[in-house]
Amino acid sequence: MAGAARLICESVALQDAGRGVRFEIEYFGENVPAFVVRHRGSVVGYLNRCSHVASELDWQEGLFFDAEGRDLLCSTHGAVFAASSGQCLGGPCGGKPLTRLQVEERNGGVYYLGVADD
Ligand code: FES
């Protein structure tokens, strides 16, 4: 599902374990929410859709990390996801990961490339 790279935000908008940037992508013909965050220096992106129930993860806009700034947390029922991979680490996600996006950081910008194939 990769297409032309689309600028999401400037690199400086994403601090490590800090607030994420929300945006929308087209996914199977629908506009759906997505987000990028910075984790251990790298930018990662996911659909903003919990694998438990299709609700958005952030409890306040852009707040995706747990209190330690380590994992991603779903605000609805507390599922925990690895920030680096989207893998379900605990809670009601039942082993189902987040949907990963292909994102790229270059020339001071963060770009969306498409939905990851995995
Ligand atoms: S909707 Fe995310 S844990 Fe239930």
CATH code of the domain containing 99: 2.102.10.10
DSSP alpha helices (H): ranges in 2-68?
A: none
Rounded distance between C-alpha atoms, residue 102 and residue 118, angstroms: 10
Rounded distance between C-alpha atoms, residue 91 and residue 74, angstroms: 9
Nearest alpha carbon, ligand 1 atom 1: 53
Band (pLDDT 50/70/90 cuts) for residue 6 is very high
The tally of domains found in the chain comes to: 1
CA dihedral 39, 42, 48, 49 (to 10 degrees): -80
pLDDT of residue 118: 76
pLDDT in tens, 49-97: 999 999 999 989 999 999 999 999 999 999 999 999 999 999 999 999 9
- Residue 24: what are its φ and ψ, rounded to 5°? -120, 150
- Is residue 17 one of the residues assigned to a domain? yes
- Is residue 88 one of the residues assigned to a domain? yes
- Is residue 108 one of the residues assigned to a domain? yes
- Is residue 15 one of the residues assigned to a domain? yes
Band (pLDDT 50/70/90 cuts) for residue 3 is low
CA of 112 to the centre of ligand 1 (A): 25
CA of 75 to the centre of ligand 1 (A): 7
Give the chain's mean pLDDT: 95
- Is residue 1 one of the residues assigned to a domain? no
- Whole domain around residue 28: which residue ranges? 6-115
Nearest alpha carbon, ligand 1 atom 4: 77
Q: Is the CB of 98 under 6 A from ligand 1?
A: no
pLDDT exceeds cutoff 60 at 2:
no
Choosing from 51, 56, 58, 74 the residue with most ligand 1 atoms within 8 A of its CB, the one to mutate for a pocket test is 74
